[in-house]
Structure 1
């Protein structure tokens, strides 16, 4: 049901929220309208997605995941975590949508108690950008669209954000290289690595004992 070409990419888009047919086409460059129609029909027949209408004033037909469809999110999260190692170095011409950042950050967000703080994040890619709030609490780290109640904001390309939260590049070095910019005090931004498990995973892979 989900192994056909393009199907997981359709599900990725719908994990971010309901989408019109044209929205899916825009974010799935290279997929023909005929094939997209067929894949959506198969997913609907399997009970993974449904077609519905947005309330007025939008009044548009959209596709969204059903409860069964949303249950695949943990598996998608693990695929993202596994695939993160192939993000560097960035390849010119790679497809990128800032909204995809939300899924990427969710995949590495801590799900154990973290410091209670809101940090703004502006992720850029060429002329595109997207705003997020990284919110810490006793439940872990949550990622929300838009910047809300944040004393400080980090602006950087996605690969620089990942390098900062993984502590593979220091915040100071990223700023000095013009790869990152801070709006507001720097102290909240320095706490970002504590809100994700990327730095811990990186330490785990680099401290493995070598065979003797």
Structure 2
């Protein structure tokens, strides 16, 4: 169990005891993206020691937030994944990401970044109301790393999926440029002209990408265009 204890009979205090320890929220972030091997978690939690990761995972297992399991063949590898109780924290994580986005910039030198994390960030700013019925591909780059997503609009709102499938057009750009385009801080054509973004397929389809998010309504989440 966690060593953190608040001597208060309060549900928020209990939640903070479970997820308020240093690194715990970031472990949950990783597991919201899918089951992870211990080594994969360690690779994405730069600065965390194996001993501390083991302790945090064991505390989450004791609370029935995380469980150990084994991937089916041919992988046949031991992994950690969220339980149903653990996945129920996702709406709270979504709101924390929305709130934390206000403080995302300026970037801090030396901070690491994984393109896979963008899925949760995009989900946090996705519209939950009817949007254009369209699939748009998005490839987020960071150095030699990249991650591809399908941004799918419908009457139910916007959904984000791993991988690119059945997309009329695809935008490829680093994350800060994606935020500038989606937040309508920089016109798509200007980002392309500045070689900050490329588009394959339908340019008209990719121009609709900001309509699938509410970032343009939130003036402090996006970096200043420059």
Q: Same fold (TM over 0.5)?
A: yes
The residue aligned with 2:211 is 194
- TM-score, length-normalised on structure 2? 0.87
The answer to whether 1:185 aligns with 2:190 is: no
- Indicate which of 9, 16, 25 corresponds to 2:33: 16
Q: How far apart in 2 are the matches of 1:89 and 1:36?
A: 28
Question: How many residue pairs are counted as aligned between the two chains?
Answer: 203
Give 1:89 shift.
3.4
Give 1:202 shift.
2.8
Deviations 1:87-109 (A, max 9, x none): 33333322100100101101000
- Equivalent positions of 1:57-206 (< 5 A) are 57-202=74-219
Unaligned 5+ segments in structure 1 are 204-212
User: Alignment RMSD, CA only?
Assistant: 1.2
- TM-score, length-normalised on structure 1? 0.93
Query: Helix, strand or coil: the match of 1:57?
Result: coil
Query: Helix, strand or coil: the match of 2:195?
Result: coil
Change (3 A) 1:26 1:70: same
- Asked if the contact 1:90/1:159 (under 8 Å) is kept, the reply is no
Unaligned 5+ segments in structure 2 are 1-17, 221-226
Query: Helix, strand or coil: the match of 1:24?
Result: helix
